[in-house]
């Protein structure tokens, strides 16, 4: 009898707790949001371009730092302030480190090898451990000679090609050279390098498929079982074509680089360091050839567009602010001996260069909405209910243009990071943009140290070597007189996950 009473007591307590839980949770409201249509919610209100500006506008209108939208049954939570992102994505990272399901990319196109798209769990952890150990601040020091070599080749190309004026292909070449030599120990050919082509082809498909709403199968996953020959299933044919490119990008450079290593290529690389670890044996299951092959293939996509876009923004900022360029050149001339390039050891003595790099990362944040996270378990924050499975978007653009932190946020002004009394970097004046532009929590960009070093060295060397001015053009006035005038810059960016 006593056993039954105990059981009843347990059941009654359970029922009571369940009722309290049931009552408490639904009573909490979702964060403020827009009124949507039945079934589709706000699906058609979210613009396909410059979403970050719209999100911020809505958050400001509703006077909230955390916004809720709903698209065809999926909850989307937008974090509009740095403090909110730090509270949730950094401090509660065990809940907020998932990735939303991407059917086209990971289930049809073979991008399941990509740690950036993997959901939080065992496979992600293994890949992340390998990439973290390979790219952490101390580990990347061994790759500095690769960075210096790629930078010198860039300066030489620019000297030879001064009248061309199109810097983007040069910056792209620099980042491709850097990442392929750091990852695989490969020296790439000047143009039409086959490995660069493999990665560019596969990544082009991935960028198209990553645009939300591009393929219906994202909303109706069961469609992935439709055969490729079925009328209207052209997405399956595309997926099959991209799948082949993806596998080639993962397998071909790895196999070639490994062969070269075995036949005596002496170059230091992530491949070499990790193969040595694998051969030495050990208990860590992150150190297997599968994990290594997958991780190396992710690095090209992670490193290229991001670094190239930031360098280009920096050049734009310097063209528009000759006084910033002048100040940086004066600082370099005072520190670096004539005939030498700035070096990593000079960084503490060149705070203005650091400020310029940080301002470029802030001014034109290249991942304005970060990479979406997913919430694994229902959570509460500031009296709001955040549902399990919600997609979490950190509005990095809003955080990096927050007027309370960065005065005149749309101005390119590296001085905001410099303490006028000491002349040193002082993030108490304006928060380090690195706290938001590289993402948050356990998913924070593992390439941030090498990205920063590549940017710092390239920009410092570029400023030390060249004057950077707006282009000039000849025009004929109505009077027939020919004059030269400065071309105004247009600031054209392609919108997307990476702008
Ligand atoms: C200016 C340069 C760069 C910027 C602004 C940048 C930004 C970002 C952002 C915002 C994320 C998502 C973080 C999150 O989910 O919260 C990310 C992830 C990632 N980045 Fe970068 N990145 C840069 C350069 C690089 C480089 C050079 C590499 C590789 C060498 C790299 C590799 C990766 C990888 C592998 C991930 C996925 C991490 C994961 O999901 O666990 N990135 N990056």
pLDDT of the residue at 215: 84
pLDDT above 60 (res 185): yes
3-state secondary structure of 189: coil
302 C-alpha to center of ligand 1: Å? 6
For ligand 1, say whether the CB of 444 is within 6 Å of any of its atoms: yes
pLDDT above 60 (res 417): yes
Residue of minimum CA distance from atom 16 in ligand 1:
439
pLDDT above 80 (res 9): no
pLDDT of the residue at 61: 97
* Alpha helices (H) in 166-231, listed in sequence order: 168-184, 194-209
Phi-psi region of 408 (alpha: psi -120 to 50; beta: other; left: phi over 0): left
Please give the CATH topology (third level) of the domain spanning 31-470. Cytochrome p450 (1.10.630)
Task: List, in sequence order, every residue forming a beta bridge with 381; answer none if it has no partner.
Answer: 384
What is the helix (H) or strand (E) element at residue 313, kind and residue range?
helix 289-320
Residue with the bigger pLDDT between 469 and 445: it is 445
427 C-alpha to center of ligand 1: Å? 22
370 C-alpha to center of ligand 1: Å? 9
The number of angstroms, rounded, from the C-alpha of 400 to the middle of its chain's C-alpha atoms is 14
Question: Mean pLDDT for the chain?
Answer: 90
Residue of minimum CA distance from atom 19 in ligand 1:
445
18 C-alpha to center of ligand 1: Å? 41
Find the length of the chain. 499
Q: Which of 275, 122, 300 is nearest to 199 (CA)?
A: 300
State mean pLDDT over 225-231: 91
Ligand 1 atom nearest to 310, measured from its CA: 1
- DSSP E strands in 33-154: the ranges are 66-71, 74-79
For ligand 1, say whether the CB of 303 is within 6 Å of any of its atoms: yes
Q: What is the pLDDT of residues 232-272, one digit of tens each?
A: 889 999 999 999 999 999 999 999 999 999 999 889 999 99
State mean pLDDT over 15-40: 70
pLDDT of the residue at 213: 67
pLDDT band at 162 (very low <50, low <70, confident <90, very high): low
pLDDT above 70 (res 222): yes
For ligand 1, say whether the CB of 368 is within 6 Å of any of its atoms: no
pLDDT of the residue at 164: 66
Is 445 within any annotated ligand binding site?
yes
pLDDT band at 490 (very low <50, low <70, confident <90, very high): confident
Residue with the bigger pLDDT between 247 and 49: it is 247
Q: Which of 64, 44, 45 is nearest to 395 (CA)?
A: 64
Residue of minimum CA distance from atom 7 in ligand 1:
438
Q: What is the pLDDT of residues 137-148, one digit of tens each?
A: 999 999 999 999
pLDDT of the residue at 142: 95
Q: Which of 368, 362, 366 is nearest to 393 (CA)?
A: 368
Ligand 1 atom nearest to 441, measured from its CA: 16
pLDDT band at 26 (very low <50, low <70, confident <90, very high): low
For ligand 1, say whether the CB of 68 is within 6 Å of any of its atoms: no
Q: Which of 269, 299, 330, 307 is nearest to 453 (CA)?
A: 307
| Number of other residues whose CB lies within 10 A of the CB of residue 443 | 23
304 C-alpha to center of ligand 1: Å? 10
pLDDT band at 499 (very low <50, low <70, confident <90, very high): confident
For ligand 1, say whether the CB of 446 is within 6 Å of any of its atoms: yes
- Among residues of the chain, what percentage have pLDDT more than 90? 70
For ligand 1, say whether the CB of 434 is within 6 Å of any of its atoms: no
Residue of minimum CA distance from atom 29 in ligand 1:
447
Ligand 1 atom nearest to 396, measured from its CA: 10
For ligand 1, say whether the CB of 180 is within 6 Å of any of its atoms: no
pLDDT above 70 (res 16): no
For ligand 1, say whether the CB of 366 is within 6 Å of any of its atoms: yes
116 C-alpha to center of ligand 1: Å? 8
Q: Which of 239, 221, 225 is nearest to 73 (CA)?
A: 221
| Burial of 246: CB neighbours in 10 Å, binned 0-12, 13-18, 19+ | buried
pLDDT above 60 (res 15): no
Q: What is the pLDDT of residues 80-124, one digit of tens each?
A: 999 999 999 999 999 999 999 999 999 999 999 999 999 999 999
pLDDT of the residue at 207: 81
Q: Which of 3-7, 35-39, 175-179, 328-332 has the lowest mean pLDDT?
A: 3-7
pLDDT above 70 (res 7): no
State mean pLDDT over 473-494: 88
Residue of minimum CA distance from atom 41 in ligand 1:
443
Mention every residue, 6+ apart, whose C-beta is less than 8 A from residue 100: 372, 374, 391
pLDDT above 90 (res 285): no
| Burial of 247: CB neighbours in 10 Å, binned 0-12, 13-18, 19+ | middle
pLDDT of the residue at 17: 40
Cβ–Cβ < 8 Å for 285, 122: no
Cβ–Cβ < 8 Å for 68, 35: no
Q: What is the pLDDT of residues 315-334, one digit of tens each?
A: 999 999 999 999 999 999 99
Residue of minimum CA distance from atom 20 in ligand 1:
445
Q: What is the pLDDT of residues 186-216, one digit of tens each?
A: 988 667 788 888 888 888 888 888 876 678 8
């Amino acid at each position: 009898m006593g056993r039954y009473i105990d059981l009843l007591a347990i059941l009654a307590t359970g029922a009571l707790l369940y009722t309290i839980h049931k009552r408490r949770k639904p009573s909490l409201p979702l964060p403020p949001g827009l009124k949507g249509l039945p079934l589709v919610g706000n699906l058609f209100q979210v613009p396909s371009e410059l979403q970050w500006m719209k999100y911020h506008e809505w958050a400001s209108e509703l006077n909230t730092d955390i916004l809720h939208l709903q698209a065809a049954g999926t909850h989307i939570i937008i974090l509009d302030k740095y403090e909110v992102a730090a509270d949730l994505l950094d401090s509660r990272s065990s809940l907020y480190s998932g990735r939303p399901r991407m059917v086209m990319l990971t289930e049809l196109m073979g991008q399941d090898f990509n740690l950036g798209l993997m959901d939080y769990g065992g496979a992600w952890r293994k890949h992340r451990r390998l990439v973290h150990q390979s790219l952490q601040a101390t580990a990347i020091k061994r790759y500095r000679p690769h960075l210096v070599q790629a930078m010198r080749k860039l300066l030489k190309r620019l000297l030879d090609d001064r009248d061309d004026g199109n810097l983007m292909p040069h910056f792209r070449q620099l980042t491709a050279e850097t990442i392929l030599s750091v990852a695989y120990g490969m020296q790439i050919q000047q143009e039409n390098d086959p490995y660069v082509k493999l990665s560019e082809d596969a990544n082009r498909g991935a960028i198209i498929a990553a645009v939300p709403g591009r393929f219906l199968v994202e909303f109706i996953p069961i469609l992935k079982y439709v055969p490729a020959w079925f009328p209207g299933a052209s997405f399956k044919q595309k997926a099959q074509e991209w799948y082949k490119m993806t596998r080639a990008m993962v397998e071909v450079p790895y196999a070639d680089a490994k062969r070269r290593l075995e036949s005596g290529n002496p170059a230091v690389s992530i491949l070499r360091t990790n193969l040595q670890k694998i051969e030495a044996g050990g208990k860590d299951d992150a150190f297997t050839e599968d994990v290594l092959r997958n991780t190396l293939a992710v690095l090209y996509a992670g490193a290229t567009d991001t670094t190239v876009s930031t360098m280009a923004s920096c050049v734009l900022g310097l063209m528009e602010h000759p006084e910033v360029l002048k100040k940086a050149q004066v600082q370099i001339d005072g520190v670096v001996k004539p005939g030498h390039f700035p070096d990593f050891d000079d960084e503490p003595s060149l705070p203005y260069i650091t400020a310029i790099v940080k301002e470029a990362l802030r001014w034109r944040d290249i991942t304005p909405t970060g990479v979406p996270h997913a919430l694994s378990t229902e959570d509460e924050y500031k009296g709001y209910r955040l549902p399990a499975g919600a997609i979490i978007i950190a509005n990095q653009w809003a955080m990096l243009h927050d007027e309370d932190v960065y005065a005149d946020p749309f101005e390119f002004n590296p001085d905001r990071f410099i303490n006028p009394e000491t002349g040193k970097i002082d993030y108490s004046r304006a928060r380090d943009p690195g706290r938001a532009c590289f993402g948050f929590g356990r998913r924070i960009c593992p390439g941030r140290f090498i990205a920063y070093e590549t940017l710092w060295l390239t920009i410092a060397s570029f400023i030390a070597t060249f004057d950077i001015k707006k282009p000039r053009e000849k025009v004929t006035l109505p009077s027939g007189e020919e004059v030269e005038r400065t071309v105004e810059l247009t600031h054209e960016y392609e919108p997307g996950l990476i702008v």
